[in-house]
Amino acid sequence: MFFLGNVILQKWFRSVFTTVIAMLLSISMPGCQIGPIEELSPLGLETPVSDKNSNQTATSTKSLESSSTDHSYEKSYNLPPISQVANNVAPAVVSITTERMTLDFFFREQVVPGGQGSGVIFDQKGLIITNNHVIENSTNVQVTLLDGRVFEGIIIGSDPPTDLAVIKIDASNVPIARLGTTAKTIVGDWVVAIGNALGDGISVTQGIVSAMEREATVPGSCQIENVIQTDAAINPGNSGGPLLNLEGEVIGINTAIARNAEGIGYAISIDEAYPIVNQLVERGRVLGEPWIGIRVGEVSAAVAQQFQLNTNEGLIVSPIKDSPAWKAGIKIGDVITYVNNKKIKTSIDLDAMLSSSKVNQEIKIKTDRFGEILEFELKLGEKPRLCE
């Protein structure tokens, strides 16, 4: 009997305890009471706002909107539309059509279509940057502006190793594009490509900077360093056209695409193009570097033993035919040990000497020819600018 009473008492205590706890919760947390569903903000989110009088919470769309202005990345969306960039720069982008001379079956000269490309006017004198491979071996160059005007293009100069060229049209009141810089360009920046894609006239594509300081092989098998990689569509005919940032500045010259990939295009950095274009405008060509005209290998103990040399230091050389070294009498197997009385141990030593020299400067070279010490005086030549 005592046991049964104890069980009943425990059940009654638990029931009363549960009821008291529920009453306390309902008093201290009125916001949890079941009631009508409140309207959500446009994003479907609720932002709690303190009520000074009742200490209750409520939703506030205004608070949500104001808090969104605190995002640090919001300024990245404050960009001009692509249409604005295109409309501002497209008038300065030209279509280029070329013709070249060839021989027919009977070895008679005939003019045939060469190719099509693009260019960008950068000077009021009608100067246009384009690619070397667009105008290479051309006999006639035709330039068409966006407004329909057509001009004969005069080739001012070209540089195959960098795939750059400058042509000129005799025109007045031409629109020009602003040349920018890649100093602040980073991966992920939006870019715009404009050009004569597929020869159908000026068109516009957009993308981002996918990578910087890439290497690209352009038509003609030239290897170009420090190019911009982009996924903006660059099609045949776009070559020579500008790659723009969203400020409408030219940051690259579109030059090639990756043949075995999709969405990979390359543009020559405008910072790399500046000195080349300036030389083409001033001289019609790019001056070569000071040149001795030798192929070299660094001498080590193993090399000395293999070729039975009398020295373990220096550069074993092979002169290039008709080069300054060839004409001075340097022969294959000679080991250069001194240049202008400075000891030469590695190719880096020789390159450092050449970088501080000038074309046509006279230098003295001391060599070891299987134990015979010889001295040569030669005048530095100009290194041919060829694709490497």
69 pLDDT above the threshold of 90? no
318 pLDDT above the threshold of 50? yes
- 57 strand-pairing partners: 50
Q: Tell me: do 183 and 267 sit in the same domain.
A: yes
Q: What is the pTM (predicted TM-score) of this model?
A: 0.70
Asked if residue 135 belongs to a domain, the reply is yes
Asked if residue 302 belongs to a domain, the reply is yes
More confident residue, 199 or 272: 272
Domain boundary among 168, 189, 210: 168
Residue 112's pLDDT band (cuts 50, 70, 90): confident
The active-site residue out of 239, 269, 323, 357 is: 239
Tens of pLDDT, residues 204-243: 999 999 999 998 887 665 788 899 999 999 988 999 999 9
Nearest Cα to 195, choosing from 226, 240, 256? 240
Q: Tell me: do 333 and 266 sit in the same domain.
A: no
239 is catalytic: yes
Domain boundary among 168, 195, 222: 168
Q: Tell me: do 184 and 270 sit in the same domain.
A: yes
Predicted pLDDT of residue 219? 66
Tens of pLDDT, residues 123-169: 999 999 999 999 999 999 999 999 999 999 999 999 999 999 999 99
368 is catalytic: no
The active-site residue out of 95, 118, 133, 210 is: 133
Predicted pLDDT of residue 68? 40
Look up the domain containing 378 and give its range: 290-382
Asked if residue 57 belongs to a domain, the reply is no
203 pLDDT above the threshold of 90? yes
Rounded CA-CA distance 197/354 in Å is 43
DSSP annotation string for 270-319: HHHHHHHHHHHHHHSS-PPPEE--EEEEE--HHHHHHHT-S-SSSEEEEE
Query: What CATH number does the domain containing 127 carry?
Result: 2.40.10.10
Provide the domain count of the chain. Answer: 3
- 371 strand-pairing partners: none
Instruction: Kindly state the helix (H) or strand (E) to which residue 57 belongs, with its residue range.
Output: strand 57-59
Domain boundary among 147, 168, 189: 168
Q: What is the mean pLDDT of residues 366-385?
A: 93
278 pLDDT above the threshold of 70? yes
351 is catalytic: no
Q: Tell me: do 316 and 374 sit in the same domain.
A: yes
Asked if residue 221 belongs to a domain, the reply is yes
The active-site residue out of 159, 163, 334, 368 is: 163
Tens of pLDDT, residues 37-66: 333 333 333 333 344 444 443 333 333 333
Q: What is the mean pLDDT of the chain?
A: 82
